Amino acid sequence: MRIVIIQNDEAAANQIRTALTRAGHRCWVFTTRSGLTEIVRKTTVDLVILDWQGGNCNGLEAARWLRGQTGFSAAVAFCSEGPSATQIAAAFEVGAIDYIIRPIDDQQLCARVAVVLRRAYPDQAREEPFDVGPYRIDPVEKCVIYHERTLELTPAEFGIARCLLINIGRPLSRDYIQEHAVGEPFLASSRSLDSQVSALRIKLRLMPERGFQLRAMYGYGYRLDLTPVQAAPADGRVRMVDWSMISNVSADTSTGR
């Protein structure tokens, strides 16, 4: 997972980064608000760990600013020495999922962060099959089943499909999708990801009339949203798609043609 760290104490920041990097996460460390602003506008992150007073970046103000950013969807946690009960309460009031108190050893730190990430993204580490709308995702077999038909997807297409479907409503940068779905660094000059997403739009029937809309975000990436159906003329209320009513899937969906 991708984690941004802002700490007033350089040694503490390095400890957190080293421990979480060893645990398999990708980490960035900043001491200023400008660094935080740049990274969250440029790419998708999963967790921001703030200090109560992180050098040139006040943690409480930074948390409020993050929550006010359109499309920001990362989890937020605090980590500092000796916070008061008032400070902890204030952190939770602005949306923090946890408040980690330093000093803390690496094992406990990684365990706390793992709990935060599981709570924020429950589908990320699932190994058993699970459903997202009309799709059944099988992480072990690496396949997507749509209305009892197994779709023919390449390994890369499966990874991208899973990444999009478990992050509905969340803007995802191209490099985030590439890294999480394919496991390779993103090359800005390559158009392979866009071609794969275009193919998936057809294979998965990601169309408004079927309840999904896959949006390209210029200069950033993609966002998959649920789409409301037309208002019912009797009461004028907008309803989301009833997946049980969408049962006709043409044969070419399962063959990739």
Note the pLDDT of residue 33.
83
Note the pLDDT of residue 53.
78
Note the pLDDT of residue 184.
61
Q: How far apart are CA 178 and CA 159, in angstroms?
A: 9
Q: What is the pLDDT of residues 16-43, one digit of tens each?
A: 999 999 999 999 998 888 889 999 999 9
Note the pLDDT of residue 206.
93
Note the pLDDT of residue 250.
33
> Could you tell me the domains of the chain?
2-120 (3.40.50.2300), 130-255 (1.10.10.10)
Q: What is the pLDDT of residues 121-167, one digit of tens each?
A: 998 888 899 999 899 999 999 999 998 999 999 999 999 999 999 99
Q: Which residues on neighbouring strands pair with residue 53, listed in sequence order?
A: 58
Q: How far apart are CA 120 and CA 113, in angstroms?
A: 11
- 246 pLDDT band, cuts 50/70/90, is very low
Check if the beta carbon of residue 94 is closer than 8 Å to that of residue 67: yes
Between these two residues, 198 and 249, which has the higher pLDDT value? Answer: 198
Q: What is the pLDDT of residues 165-191, one digit of tens each?
A: 999 999 999 999 998 887 765 555 467
Note the pLDDT of residue 239.
54
Q: What is the mean pLDDT of residues 65-80?
A: 91
The predicted model scores a pTM of: 0.84
The strand pair at 53-54 and 57-58 is best described as antiparallel
Kind and range of the H or E element at 77? Answer: strand 75-81
Other beta carbons within 10 angstroms of residue 247's beta carbon come to: 9
| Whether residue 248 has pLDDT greater than 60 | no
Note the pLDDT of residue 186.
54
Q: What is the mean pLDDT of residues 59-68?
A: 92
Q: What is the pLDDT of residues 74-119, one digit of tens each?
A: 999 999 998 999 999 999 999 999 999 999 999 999 999 999 999 9
